[in-house]
Amino acid sequence: LQQPLIGPVSLESDFSLRYLFPDDHDSDADLGLVIASVTRLVVPVSARIQLFAFADLYFVQGKTPSNDSLGGSRMFGMGLSFNHFLGL
């Protein structure tokens, strides 16, 4: 998903949701629910340089009673993208 916001500023997002149904062969290592999301707020600085802030979220839940609590990670940051800056 890419959505323009104000002027050249845009919001980019990629979201994934997976549910894996239980079966007779499930173990503690099997995941039942996986949620992943990467969202970026992109601000062009020039024609070839972009500044962005991002949120990277990942959550999982197991299939068996011993691992059915929700766990995951989240990471936030900023970056600089320079496409074809060196003429490559």
Asked if the model's pLDDT at residue 85 lies above 70, the reply is no
Name residue 29's amino acid.
A
Q: What is the pLDDT of residues 45-65, one digit of tens each?
A: 988 889 999 999 999 999 888
Please state the rounded mean pLDDT for residues 65-81: 93
pTM of the model: 0.74
Cβ 39 vs Cβ 12: under 8 Å: yes
Q: Are 58 and 75 in contact (CB under 8 A)?
A: no
| pLDDT at residue 28 in the model | 86
pLDDT digits (tens, 9 = 90+) for 2-48: 888 988 999 999 999 999 998 888 888 889 999 999 999 999 998 88
Q: Are 41 and 52 in contact (CB under 8 A)?
A: yes
The predicted pLDDT at position 86 comes to 59
